[in-house]
Chain A
Amino acid sequence: FDEIIVDIAMKRKQYPRKILEYVINTIKTKQE
């Protein structure tokens, strides 16, 4: 249970940033 909590919490912390990088790259590529 503890590992699941930490795993989810880490995903909540890191994934938005990672996904954001892709989103920003996509937007830039579209603009180019």
Chain B
Amino acid sequence: MSVNPMTYEAQFFGFTPQTCMLRIYIAFQDYLFEVMQAVEQVLVKKLDGVSNCDISPIQIRKCTEKFLGFMKGRFDSLFGKMEQLFLQLILHIPPNILLPEDKFQELHSYSEEQFQLLKEEIEQLQEKYKTELCAKQALLAELEEQSVVQARLRQTLTLFDELINVGRHHGTSDFRESLVSLVQNSRKLQDLRGHIEREGASLETS
């Protein structure tokens, strides 16, 4: 007969139902023996008090053994029935019942390959997340760099603007025009000077 280890019940109770029943059996049996022993002691003691009594303790012992033999037989048979009922109705987890700590088992029955796939997907997602974070760092770094470059370029433009403002401040609205007019004026001055020099020279000679 294959023994049902009742492991699932042991998981719930913390002991095997059979052990529990054995413990109860032994305890009950001990009580039966103890009580029988007490009965016999009382009867023997009672006999001591009776004069000319022809019942010996040995005979009392034989009566006890006879009575106990019968009781033990009935005890074992009754206990066997009670044990069966205990194991079927009390210390038993019905086959359709799942213990709370195992509730995941029915929510997620994953095969090995599904489990592997799930782990791989998690690893891929982790890699992807790292990549995205790196991309974010790179983008932020470029934005930072662009801010510096923009500031530098705006600074340069400001410099140019200031140069123009300096010119304006001294009456030249447009450098280029003023330079051209400067060149033209210089040329006129040079012609004038040339003319004056020539006049001077002719005066000396006359």
Which chain A residues have a beta carbon within 8 Å of chain B's beta carbons? 1-2, 5-6, 8-10, 12-13, 16-17, 30
Contact = CB atoms under 8 A, between A and B. Distances in A.
B126 A13 contact: no
Given A6-B10, A8-B7, A30-B126, A13 B101 contact: yes
A16 B101 contact: yes
Contacts, number: 33
Nearest to A14: B101
Interface stretch (B15-23, B62-70, B182-190): B15-23
Contacts of B18: 2
Contacts of A10: 10-11, 14
Interface of B: 3, 5-8, 10-11, 14-16, 18-19, 101, 126
Which of A2, A5, A13 lies at the interface centre, i.e. has the most chain B CB atoms within 10 A of its CB?
A5
A9 B101 contact: no
